[in-house]
Chain A
Amino acid sequence: MLRFVVRRLLLLFPILIGLSILVFVWVRALPGSPADSLLGERTTPELVREYEERFGLDDPIYVQYWKYVKTTASLDFGVSSASHRYVTDELKERFPATVELAIAAMLFSTLFGVPLGFLAAKRHGGFFDHSSLVLSLIGVSIPVFFLAILLKYVFSVRLGWLPSVGRIDVTSEVEHPTNFYVLDAIITRDWPTLKDVLRHLVLPAIALGSIPLAIITRITRASVLDVQNEDYVRTARAKGLPPHTVDERHVLRNALLPISTIIGLQTGLLLSGAILTETVFAWPGVGSWLRDAIFNRDYAVLQGGILFLAFVFVFVNLIVDISYAIINPRIRYS
């Protein structure tokens, strides 16, 4: 087990280094000098010179890279040219919002996707099965931002059931110690705020989770179908076990294995989908932050944000791999 974890961790470093090189090259590929890009338009010659010294833009390229690695490792991503605040500070504010949204979307897609896929497999060939396939295909074909707009239109504009922007009512003056609004509301036992926060979370979570929902439904269905034909299931049934025990103890447990690997991939979808969903719902997370940065040519934010998201993606996949190895002993010894 330990050997597996160590091996996976070692694989991590080349990827992280590769990522940092990619972003390093990227900043230098931007039009203008890196100092111009990272500092934005309204700089002074002094600031530019200070930047150049710090990042050694006159030094040979490997020295530059080393300085870049050092500053990045100390989590100094520079200053946003739009807000003049440290990128790291803004990131700390924005990240919890996106995490909350992503977790909500993940919960939505798993809690609905697994049962739907399971039922579809159980009623293989029937109407439910076919319609679930069609629906998941449509789900994958709808762009996230269009679904977000549709949901907003139906449930906010037309029906008025749910709010359409933000994480919380604009007039609310509640404190948010952890910046995880749901958590904060629960900790302070502020039930009205909790309800408000949850109401704001529903539509974006559904929009963001739609594609993972479609994928999880399909994969669960395929996985359950595969497992159901296995010998050990046939044995369990032949033994006389009641059907639902067979389902729980044998079918479901084994069918869920491939699904956990998919979750790692979903994180990537969630991260990129977040940009679009957050824009539609004006959700103050990393996604809309990046989108504004694109608009404002705020390259410092883009550099820090993309690098950070990529790291998150890689780490989540690492954790998923390790937990999959814990669940499935066969992987450990391969």
Chain B
Amino acid sequence: MSVAELEAAEIQLEAPSGLWRDAFHRLIRNPGAIVGFVFVSLFVICAVFAPLIATHDPVEQDLLQVANGCCPGPSSEHWFGVDPLGRDLFSRIIYGARVSLLIGVVSVGIGFSIGAVLGAIAGYVGGVVDSAIMRVMDVMLAIPGLLLAIGIVAALGPGLKEVMIAVGLANVPIFARLLRGSVLAQREADFVTAAKAVGIRRPTILFSHIIPNSISPVIVQGTLAMATAIIDVAGLGFLGIGLQDPDETPEWGSMLTEVNEYLQTAPFLALIPGTAIVISVLGFNLIGDGLREALDPKLRGR
């Protein structure tokens, strides 16, 4: 073989490494990320398999349990105890995961799809379009997150759909800024110039080349946005403007609303839903942080 062929063969013998493979290896070596993954898996499994895991019907009231005042604590029949209306707390927690997961995923999806498109267009087209879009985003960011969601829910009315839209819209400016920054950074890159030179049209360049390259910060932001969404939904539920009928659909935040009266006699009524929220949110935060470190291109090849 010639020297060239030998060298070519040699190069092929090195393990192929790409951003994803490196990232994955860094990720599994990060203890925080592993813990986060466990928490999130727990959360997702509870949400998805709720009917199989829950021991009772979450909305079925058994007033006999609270006939002697509130509230019997954990027992062999009711693993987490019973709430003031006699409903099994364990089942309510499990079904509550369902609500949180659903709202989290949908609202982050809404925020990402609208925000990313707007931000990418703003970054790529530039000029007046950029200014206009970013001014609107600035105005949305001028209202602190929870207040914005509250305002939207107040206008649209309470309900599952409305909460998803509200939390979703609150996420739009964040994704918009993210994508705009990413697109701005890549606009002058060589591969873009090459694509333009070959004659690929601008929208195609944007959507098929630039946006896929912006995936990593989007994934990181997506997981962190999930964490924030769960907290915001719980906050809305706590304030009493979340879902239409918190008695029918258990939601962790609304479970913490009337807890004040029972703090002395039945603290577990507050501690258990709250801990559920903390564990799920912590899980997403841990994974998000782990991903951020793992996907940092500055660490490539390490």
A299 and B139 within 8 A (CB) = no
A309 within 8 Å of B (CB atoms)? yes
Known: A137-B286, A149-B256, A153-B263. A276 touches B147 (CB 8 A): no
B264 and A268 within 8 A (CB) = no
Closest to B231 in A: A143
A183 within 8 Å of B (CB atoms)? no
B143 within 8 Å of A (CB atoms)? yes
* Residues of chain A contacted by B300 (CB below 8 angstroms): none
B282 and A137 within 8 A (CB) = yes
Closest to A311 in B: B142
State A31–B162 Cα separation when bound (angstroms).
14
* Residues of chain A contacted by B239 (CB below 8 angstroms): 275-276, 279, 291, 294
A294 and B241 within 8 A (CB) = yes
Of the residues A30, A150, A275, A280, contact of B154 by C-beta under 8 Å: A30
A140 and B136 within 8 A (CB) = no
* Residues of chain A contacted by B277 (CB below 8 angstroms): 142-143, 146
Closest to A297 in B: B154
A63 within 8 Å of B (CB atoms)? no
Of the stretches A15-23, A92-100, A246-254, A325-333, the one at the interface is A15-23
Of the residues B143, B147, B154, contact of A299 by C-beta under 8 Å: B154
A271 and B147 within 8 A (CB) = yes
* Residues of chain A contacted by B147 (CB below 8 angstroms): 271-272, 275, 306, 309-310
Chain B interfacial residues counted at CB < 8 A: 43
Q: Mark B254-297, 1 if CB is under 8 A from A, else 0.
A: 00100110011001001100100110011001100100000000
Q: Mark A277-299, 1 if CB is under 8 A from B, else 0.
A: 00110000000001100110001
State A302–B260 Cα separation when bound (angstroms).
25
* Residues of chain A contacted by B289 (CB below 8 angstroms): 137
State A22–B281 Cα separation when bound (angstroms).
31
Closest to B259 in A: A149
* Residues of chain A contacted by B271 (CB below 8 angstroms): 150, 153
Known: A294-B150, A294-B239. A143 touches B263 (CB 8 A): no
B227 and A141 within 8 A (CB) = yes
Known: A141-B227, A314-B142. A153 touches B267 (CB 8 A): yes
A19 and B143 within 8 A (CB) = yes
A29 within 8 Å of B (CB atoms)? yes
State A271–B144 Cα separation when bound (angstroms).
7
State A143–B252 Cα separation when bound (angstroms).
11
Of the residues B145, B155, B274, B286, contact of A29 by C-beta under 8 Å: B155
Known: A143-B231, A145-B256, A149-B263. A276 touches B238 (CB 8 A): yes
Return A314 CB to nearest CB of chain B, in Å. 5
Closest to B146 in A: A272
Of the residues B135, B145, B155, B274, contact of A149 by C-beta under 8 Å: B274
Of the residues A18, A29, A294, A309, contact of B139 by C-beta under 8 Å: A18
B225 within 8 Å of A (CB atoms)? no
* Residues of chain A contacted by B278 (CB below 8 angstroms): 138, 141-143, 146
- Known pairs A272-B146, A275-B147, A294-B150; list 10 more (Cβ under 8 Å): A19-B139, A29-B156, A137-B286, A138-B282, A140-B285, A145-B238, A153-B267, A153-B270, A310-B144, A313-B142
Q: Give me the 8 closest cross-chain CB pairs, A-B, nearest first.
A: A18-B139, A272-B146, A146-B274, A268-B144, A141-B282, A272-B144, A141-B281, A29-B155
A-B contacts, 24 listed (Cβ < 8 Å): A15-B142, A22-B143, A26-B151, A137-B286, A140-B285, A141-B227, A142-B277, A142-B278, A143-B234, A143-B253, A145-B234, A145-B253, A145-B256, A146-B274, A153-B267, A272-B145, A272-B147, A275-B239, A276-B239, A280-B260, A294-B239, A294-B240, A306-B147, A310-B143
Interface residues of A (CB under 8 A from B): 14-15, 18-19, 22, 26, 29-31, 134, 137-138, 140-146, 149-150, 152-153, 157, 268-269, 271-273, 275-276, 279-280, 290-291, 294-295, 299, 302, 306, 309-310, 313-314
